Amino acid sequence: MLRVKSLFCERDDRVLFRNLDFHLSEGQAIQVQGSNGSGKTTLLRILCGLNTDYTGDFFWYDQPMAKSWPQFRESVFYLGHAPAINKTLTAEENLRWYCASRGLKNDISISQALAFFGLQGYEEVPCYMMSAGQQRRVSLARLKLTNASLLVLDEPFTALDKRGVQELEAMLAGFVAEGGALLLTTHHPLQLECPLQVIDLDKYNTEAEAQW
């Protein structure tokens, strides 16, 4: 599905990673880990086209990303550190805006998506009145509405309680089991019941050539 070849990134005269090669297939999950400042967020942003300060090659289904970028953008869902919601809007309004912006028409309703993440009864509540965990749940509810085949998630368990973590882990494992692909960063000890590989970026910031 996604292949990365000879990726190199330097920031403030410091190499974050060099000679980074990996591939991500359907029905597979990859966890990116490393010490603070190792480039985990930078890597995800590079892959999603939000950071161009790098060298290396990307392939989407064996086609150079330059040729397959429109198809890739339609197939990927990216969630960064921030909840990426408008706090002046209600939970339902945020999800309606998301669906409209992506041209989504889904079998599952917005109310069902919110209920899945424990927000039944909060549909009309402005997000600024919600806790950090509830705001995160509003953001995560988009996972039930998207038709993406690749999820790229940066610390998705932030602000979730224990039950929320378990529910999200089960959902992500189910997504991978159905043929989706998952790339994520997290400091949480994952309990995913699906094929999982780990990329440790601390191994790719030395002068030695590394292979994945």
Model confidence band, residue 124 (pLDDT cutoffs 50, 70, 90): very high
| pLDDT given for residue 195 in this prediction | 86
Total domains in the chain come to: 1
Q: Is residue 100 part of a domain?
A: no
pLDDT digits (tens, 9 = 90+) for 43-79: 999 999 999 999 999 999 999 999 999 999 999 999 9
Sheet strands side by side (includes 196-200)? 76-79, 150-154, 181-185, 28-33, 196-200
Model confidence band, residue 127 (pLDDT cutoffs 50, 70, 90): very high
Domain hosting residue 162, numbered range: 2-87+148-204
pLDDT digits (tens, 9 = 90+) for 154-166: 999 999 999 999 9
The pTM score is 0.92
Model confidence band, residue 206 (pLDDT cutoffs 50, 70, 90): low
Q: How many CB atoms lie within 10 A of CB 202?
A: 12
Q: Is residue 108 part of a domain?
A: no
Q: Is residue 45 part of a domain?
A: yes
Q: Is residue 138 part of a domain?
A: no
Q: Is residue 14 part of a domain?
A: yes
Q: Is residue 169 part of a domain?
A: yes
Residue 11 has pLDDT above 90, yes or no: no
CA atoms within 13 A on the CB side of 133: 11
CATH code for position 154? 3.40.50.300
Q: Is residue 94 part of a domain?
A: no
Q: Is residue 116 part of a domain?
A: no
Model confidence band, residue 211 (pLDDT cutoffs 50, 70, 90): very low
* Distance separating alpha carbons of residues 49 and 152, to the nearest angstrom: 12
